[in-house]
Structure formats: C-alpha cells, structure tokens
Amino acid sequence: MNLTEILNWRYSTKEFNPTKKISNEDFEQVKTLLQMSPSSTNIQPWHFVIADSKEGKERITKGTQGFFQFNEQKIKDASHVIIFCARTDADDKYMQHLLDQEEKDGRYPNKEVKQMVFGARNLFTNIHRYDLKDLQHWMEKQVYMNMGSLLIGVATMGIDALPMEGFDLKLIDEEFGLRKKGFTAVGVVSLGYRTESDFNDPTKTPKSRLPEEEIFTIL
Ligand SMILES: Cc1cc2nc3c(=O)[nH]c(=O)nc-3n(C[C@H](O)[C@H](O)[C@H](O)COP(=O)(O)O)c2cc1C
C-alpha cells in the first residue's frame, strides 16, 4: 500500500477482534514509535502505561464508568492499550536528566555545545512557564504529537487503533498514582485488529474529511 492507501485503510476502530493479539516482535516496534517521537527542544515530556493482560485492561476500564461507558468494550477487546501521560512540570532535576541522556547518547562534541543546548531548552521552557504560562499545556501538545505519529505508524504495520479522550482521566490518574509520579493522563489508545462487523470500517461507513480547497492555501 502507498501512503494514501494506508491513510484510507486506517480508521478509528470501534470493534476489536478480542482473539487477535499483536505479536511481541511488532509491539517492540510500536514501543520504538513511542520512544522516537519528536518533541520541541527534545523535551520528551511523556510516560506510557501499557496493558496487554486482561487484568491490566480491567484496571484501565476504571476510567470508562458512567458517561464514558461507550469506550469500555474498546479497551477490553483491544490487544494492547496505551495510556498517554504528560509531565506536570519540567523541574531542574528533569532538565539535567535530559542533558545527561543526550551526553550519554553522544550528542555533545564539547562542553560549549552542551551548555548551549541546556540554555536554549531552559529558555524555551521558561517562556512557557512564565511568559505564556502554559508549560503544562505545551508539554501536553508534545504528547499529542506522539499520539498522532503512533496512529499513522501502526497503520503502516497493519495494526488498527482507536484514540480516546472519552475517559475519566482523573480516575486514571488515581488508579495508577500518576500525579504523585509527576504525570497526568491525557488520552488512551487501543491497538489491535478490526472485526469484520465493525460498522466504522471505511468499506461500510466512508471516512469524511473537509475538501482540499477548503483546508489548503497554496502559495
Ligand atoms: C484525540 C482524539 C480523541 C478521540 N476520542 C474518541 C473517543 O473517546 N471514542 C471514540 O470512539 N473515538 C474517538 N476519537 C475518534 C475520532 O472520532 C475519529 O478520529 C474521527 O472521527 C476521524 O475518523 P477516523 O479516525 O476514522 O479517520 C478520537 C480521536 C482523536 C484524534
């Protein structure tokens, strides 16, 4: 499939085949997608809680009670479920931790370059912390970019996905003790394989998008 075909093949899967699991080998690549996503200043303000067992998925369904019931089965039947968590702060300790990792990965030919990157990342972070006062929101945006790249990336592997915001994220934070660890849940993605009966499959219910002439300005 070329990219256009892949983009039309993928859709928000509403019914997962509960008997079909993503192989360990494929899931290793999915983890690479999550790890390798780009982020502004390489801030990587994320953590992922991943469930592939019945028990793990049951715990995640604590966030689909009441109003969010409509998403419950999509968790239970999925092969793997990923909770996307964003940092609630980027303190000095974390900034130093990022710098140390980059040094370990061989990004700094000398102390000057290292210091320059450290300064630039702190500058950007402080613009968001103090001037724009949207540090947490900015970090969440980076997490959403990661979610977007996951959705397209898994489609290239023939894996179906459903992103979900229809979740009681406060309950998810509590269930996994996320806030104490400096994180908060921003969304959940189910992964697996579509059933033949899924009404939302584009061969049954066509996808809908605004037309090109409306969304593009070509200069
Ligand atoms: C951030 C985000 C949150 C979403 N939340 C839900 C959800 O809670 N439940 C659901 O069934 N679909 C959810 N969707 C699916 C969207 O409705 C779907 O992506 C959109 O209609 C476009 O269709 P497509 O993904 O099939 O191309 C969500 C999508 C995104 C990107």
Residue closest by Cα to atom 21 of ligand 1: 12
What local confidence, expressed as pLDDT, does residue 206 receive? Answer: 97
* pTM exceeds 0.85 for this model: yes
| Ligand 1 centroid, distance to 189 Cα (angstroms) | 10
* Calculated CA dihedral for residues 30, 31, 35, 38, nearest 10 degrees: 10
pLDDT in tens, 144-187: 999 999 999 999 999 999 999 999 999 999 999 999 999 999 99
What local confidence, expressed as pLDDT, does residue 29 receive? Answer: 98
Summarize the confidence of residues 5-20 as an average pLDDT.
98
What local confidence, expressed as pLDDT, does residue 150 receive? Answer: 98
Q: Which residues are catalytic?
A: 14, 74, 165
Ligand 1 atom nearest the C-alpha of 148 is: 31
pLDDT in tens, 88-97: 999 999 999 9
| Ligand 1 centroid, distance to 162 Cα (angstroms) | 7
pLDDT in tens, 32-81: 999 999 999 999 999 999 999 999 999 999 999 999 999 999 999 999 99
| Ligand 1 centroid, distance to 48 Cα (angstroms) | 19
pLDDT in tens, 22-45: 999 999 999 999 999 999 999 999
What local confidence, expressed as pLDDT, does residue 199 receive? Answer: 98
Q: Pocket of ligand 1, candidates 12, 199, 205: which has the most ligand atoms within 8 Å of its Cβ, to mutate?
A: 12
